[in-house]
Chain A
Amino acid sequence: VSASEPIDVIRPAGTRRRESTENVSRIERGITLPFGGLLILGGMRHRGLAGAAVGIAGVVLVARGWTGRCPLYRRLGIDTAHRQRAAEVQWSRTITVGAPLEAARAICEDPSQAARVVSLVARAEAEGDRWRVTTKGRPGRTLELTLRRDADAIEWRTAADEATPGRLRLDFSPAPGNRGTEISARLMLRPPDGAVGKAIGRGIEGIGERWLGTQLARLKQLVETGEIARTGSQPAGPRSALRRALRVVPVLQEEGA
């Protein structure tokens, strides 16, 4: 791995198709068209504003089905008319860890620490440069990763045939003023192809930045204090129904939980 290695990164917002204005799939058009017609008929049966509104909605849907163009989709960057290759999504964050570069790097290369630091990892084992990582959840997913090293960086890559191929790169450099080590992390994922994958990429874009920053903070906590700050399993009164529901989604939980 070298720092100058080109990284194929295109953010989802930059992937909108320009060559065709059609952005609604055939199946969707086949549903939209008759549904719009039904709304027009329904609107004609009712007088007044409500009837007019339903009728207008029907006209819009008929036009959408007839032309295959949806302004709302265009505004949201959605295109179900064309098979799309999902763009790679990248997040990057940097943190300063109060430890010499070698010590900080050694912890990063230690698979036994990975499960402590990375909140979604249940277990990690290494055989040479091959890492086997099991994620939390039921059932946990097992990923095969390859570790690559150079003088200033380490990188883990999934196998190319993974459904969601990805790589995590950490660059190390000394911080000024004897503050320790600056660690820059870049996480790159390629969501599955197609509109669903694209929507996933868009959906996780904001969460990923936060998640990566929190993992770096946990790494810093472990290196500097020997433990990771936690607030899980602590006293609390009855939580709201929404909060209880969110607790089943690991990535939405507070990182300390």
Chain B
Amino acid sequence: MKAVCWFGREDVRVEDVPEPTIQNPRDAIVRVTSTAICGSDLHLYRHYIPTMQKGDVLGHEFMGEVVEVGTAIESLGPGDRVVVPFPIACGRCWFCRRELWSLCDNSNPNAWMAEALMGHSPAGLFGYSHMLGGYAGGQAEYVRVPFADVGPLKIEADTLADEQVLFLSDVLPTGWMAAEQCDIEPGDVVAVWGAGPVGQFAMRAARLLGAERVIAIDRFEPRLALARRHGMETLDYSQVDVHDALLDATGGRGPDRCIDAVGLEAHGTGLLARYDQVAQAVRFETDRPIALREAIVACRKGGTVSLAGVYGGYVDKLPLGAAFNKALTLRMGQTHVHRYLRPLLERIRLGDIDPADIVTHRLPLTQAPHAYEIFQKKQDDCLKVVLDPAA
């Protein structure tokens, strides 16, 4: 079968690889009908995430049709149309039983690698390094889904196209959780750093959860324009001083809730942004926390900073003193996707959210290398690429 494989920094190729097989009784094999490139895939593409191996199959946003199930699977059968959450969760450990799905204790066979870096291991993820399981990803014609009785969401309604439900696998719940963990109150002003797919959904979620005003911060005009179309205010960080602009926009209070939807590859202006690029290049830090720094400093006293963008390692010059002295609440984590699947599917069905309008490119899987390149370089106004393995 065809699959998108990682071979090094900015080197992905479509290769012929063996088809996956059932390995455990709770597995399923899914024929992928749609798969997307996530912003966090770019961290792999740029090789910022350790423990990748040449030949790894990428992709953690995908959906498709079940073609085979293991002997212990009763809730699914061949022909079922499913969306698959990117974290792999057993459904039975202490964390899964508390709906902390992305912290599953049992789905990472290479937990020791994550423990060496982080002290404990989060859940295994599809196509996202050996430290996080080494599972083959879904940018392929077929994918093996472990614990298929827990993760995949069956899509019964034929009226919903793939693009309307595909993003339940990651970016839509990720944006939603970023807003939800802000504990938004009526009258709140929410600032969102990054108007990529996660940022777009975080803004819409903040609105649906009661925010009075939402401010998008980015430098790419098409992304800011999309935010404006949904009623958000916008700031172009390449044109204004973000801190001053946010204070001006909030009567000097600062945003009540701040969402970092950028993560470890943040860009910025000024000396500190240049410092981050150098520090990351010489491995003095692994991540560039420019958006996070700005969020902590801008957030109003007693406010909340919520992290949805991925961080992978170590950062420098984090203003923890500001966070402490302003009594901020910091919330973060890989998304507990399973928790949000059904409620968000219902919102899609009701028309509260239309996820499909973030899609800018629809390409055959075979054009994945080109897709990664234009997404990484933000060429052709690329915001979201959906790949079709059958095309």
Contacts and interface: CB of A to CB of B under 8 A. Distances in A.
B222 to A, nearest CB: 33
B17 interface: yes
Contacts of B372: none
Given A220-B106, A225-B147, A226-B25, A236 B112 contact: no
Contact of B94 (A98, A221, A226, A229): A98
Given A224-B92, A237-B5, A257-B134, 11 more contacts: A98-B94, A224-B93, A225-B26, A225-B147, A229-B106, A229-B109, A229-B146, A235-B20, A237-B13, A237-B57, A256-B134
Interface of A: 96, 98, 179-180, 210, 213-214, 217, 220-221, 224-240, 243, 254-257
Contact of A179 (B3, B18, B94, B140): B94
A248 B7 CA distance: 22
Contacts of B110: 231, 254-256
Interface string B191-212: 0000000000000000000000
28 contacts: A98-B92, A213-B111, A214-B111, A214-B112, A224-B92, A225-B147, A226-B25, A226-B72, A227-B25, A227-B26, A230-B109, A231-B134, A231-B135, A234-B23, A234-B135, A234-B136, A235-B20, A235-B57, A235-B142, A236-B53, A236-B56, A237-B5, A238-B55, A239-B53, A240-B54, A256-B133, A256-B134, A257-B109
B15 A213 contact: no
Contact of B130 (A225, A230, A254): A254
Interface residues of B, number: 46
B260 interface: no
A236 B109 contact: no
A227 B88 CA distance: 14
B20 A229 contact: no
Secondary structure of the B side of the interface? loop
A230 B111 contact: no
Smallest CB-CB A-B distances: 8 pairs: A256-B109, A237-B5, A237-B55, A237-B15, A235-B17, A229-B109, A236-B55, A227-B24
B218 interface: no
A214 B112 CA distance: 7
B90 interface: yes
Contacts of A231: 109-110, 133-136
Contacts of B112: 210, 213-214, 217, 255
Nearest to A230: B23
Contacts of A210: 112
Chain A CB within 10 Å — which of B105, B108, B146 has the most? B105
A17 B25 CA distance: 54
Interface string B68-97: 000010000000000000000011111000
